[in-house]
Amino acid sequence: MSPRRVFITGSSDGLGLEAGRLLAAGGHRVALHARNDARARDAKRALPSAESVVVGDVSIIAEIRAVAEQVNALGKFDAVIHNVGVGTGGPRAETVDGLPRVFAVNVIAPYLLTALIARPARLVYLSSGLHTGGSPDLDDAQWVSRRWNGSQAYADSKLFDIMLAFGVARRWPKVLSNAVDPGWVKTKMGGSGAPDGLEIGATTQAWLAASDDAEAKVTGEYFYHKKPRRMKAEAKRVDLQDQLLDYCAKLTGASITE
């Protein structure tokens, strides 16, 4: 297996950092991402072999753009793992851009980084088994008219992540673009009662980013523990994928085109 160069969002701790550890242990070059300078220092201490740590709060569109600029300044990457994500505890939290934080971080960040980072050979998007309860409806995706339901907003965002992966796979046929359900893992989001440890939760995304296995060199698939998994049927609908990509393009001013 030839060495790869991989950038991982949301990798100062948890699944992102663990994916970085697995890749570095396999001889790959890894760049991490942290929300602020303090967390960047923590990430570098946790994985000293990381070649760099990019800094930016990806709940804010201007900072997402700054993260993309930093990544591009580092040179071309072979793969990007879109790991960053937040849960939905508490009331609706709105970003400076007027978006619910869960939508900004879980959907807009991977979308805009995909649009702005120099096109890699592989893309991996973190979803969740909870996407099966999500809705692809974009009529009130920002929860302006509806009463806020954090669990539903999270499920929606994870469905959107699979749709994003599949939409990119269609528009960029030379790029391997896949989505992953890491399982219920012992992270800050998953909690201490989760049945799986970090390594098993990070293995599939690291494998998709770097492996020469034929099973990993596919596109437009949804994986769980290195095996293709069934997903909600709407995720495969081309019209819904395109609606999401167009919606995100309008919000960000950046398009993912062929």
Higher pLDDT, 198 or 218: 218
Quote the pTM value: 0.96
Q: CA-CA distance, 38 to 43, in Å (whole number)?
A: 9
Residue labelled with tokens 């760049």 = 31
| pLDDT tens sequence across 216-236 | 999 999 999 999 999 999 999
Contact call for residues 242 and 171 (beta carbons, < 8 A) = no
Contact call for residues 49 and 26 (beta carbons, < 8 A) = no
What are the tokens at 244? 């999401």
Catalytic residue list: 154, 158
What are the tokens at 41? 């220092």
Q: Is the pLDDT of residue 4 over 90?
A: yes
| pLDDT tens sequence across 20-45 | 999 999 999 999 999 999 999 999 99
Residue 198's pLDDT is what?
81
Q: Is the pLDDT of residue 135 over 90?
A: yes
Q: Is the pLDDT of residue 188 over 80?
A: no
User: What long-range pairs does 62-67 form, CB within 8 A, spacing at least 24?
Assistant: 64/108, 64/109, 64/112, 64/113, 64/116, 65/112, 65/116, 67/9, 67/33, 67/113
CATH 3.40.50.720 fits 5-252, yes or no: yes
| pLDDT tens sequence across 41-53 | 999 999 999 999 9
Arithmetic mean of pLDDT over the chain: 95
Q: Which residues contact 251 (CB under 8 A, 6 or more apart)?
A: 61, 99, 108
